[in-house]
Amino acid sequence: MNKEMLESFEPLIRAIASKFYNIEYDDLLQAGRIGLINAYQHYDKNSNTKFSSFAYTYIFGEMYNLALTSKSIKTNKDTLKLSKLIEKTKIYLTQLLGKSPSIEEISSYLEIDESTIYNTINASLNILSLDRDSEEENNLYDILSKEEDNDTKLDIESSLQELTDKEQNIIMYRYYNDLTQQETAKIMGISQVSVSRYEQKSLKKLKNVMSS
């Protein structure tokens, strides 16, 4: 991996790092860069998965593991162990399926009840700042629902599976990674206008699925 490629992913690494708190920012950036290098080393060029989507899982995973092992975070050992297993499973299934796996798919693969998977993920969210304040108000809950509760989170997670891979990636970058349309366009290799069109189309799809 050359210097130019590392620099091109720096906006994504910084965006993911901004979702964590109580962790040194520079340490998160370093973990993210390690994750990017690991992704590059493990990426199957014959895979249908776009490298940016594959790399996201590794970048987030390295930062997530850093946060979970931080002395400032007190997490039940069993929850910590299962959280790491879920993250490893996400990486594997992303490569296998060519998209980010749903909770149902993770549950099926691990043969663990969906509610246990969801509760484990939810229990570890105290290390993440999922809804960063921004001028663009990139909050799926505000757009798709009046309430932010466990049922809504599951509904959104399930509805995302109705989107195409490209639409899922755009929603992921825009609303989970808090990237701008311009940053998203650069990573995906398309125009900002295309990102805007796909985003609006995807949000409309999600609203229709959740209201049906």
| 62 within 8 A of 34, measured Cβ to Cβ | yes
Reported pTM = 0.47
With beta carbons less than 8 A apart as the criterion, state whether 27 and 35 touch: no
Mean pLDDT for 155-181 is 79
C-alpha Rg value of the chain to the nearest Å: 17
187-211: per-residue pLDDT in tens?
778 888 899 999 999 988 888 887 7
> Are both 154 and 85 inside the same structural domain?
no
Name the nearest CA neighbour of 161 among 209, 96, 89, 91: 209
The secondary structure element, H or E, covering residue 97 is: helix 77-97
101 and 139: one domain? no
What residues make up the domain containing 137?
A: 133-212
pLDDT at 73 (0 to 100):
52
119, 150: one domain? no
Length of the chain as a residue count = 212
Q: Determine whether 84 is exposed, middle or buried from the number of CB atoms within 10 Å of its CB (0-12, 13-18, 19+).
A: middle
Point out the domain boundary residue: 129, 149, 173: 129
Of 63-77, 87-101, 102-116, the least confident: 63-77
Contact between 73 and 67 under an 8 Å Cβ cutoff? The reply is: yes
Please report the pLDDT score of residue 172 as a whole number. 80
pLDDT band at 110 (very low <50, low <70, confident <90, very high): very high
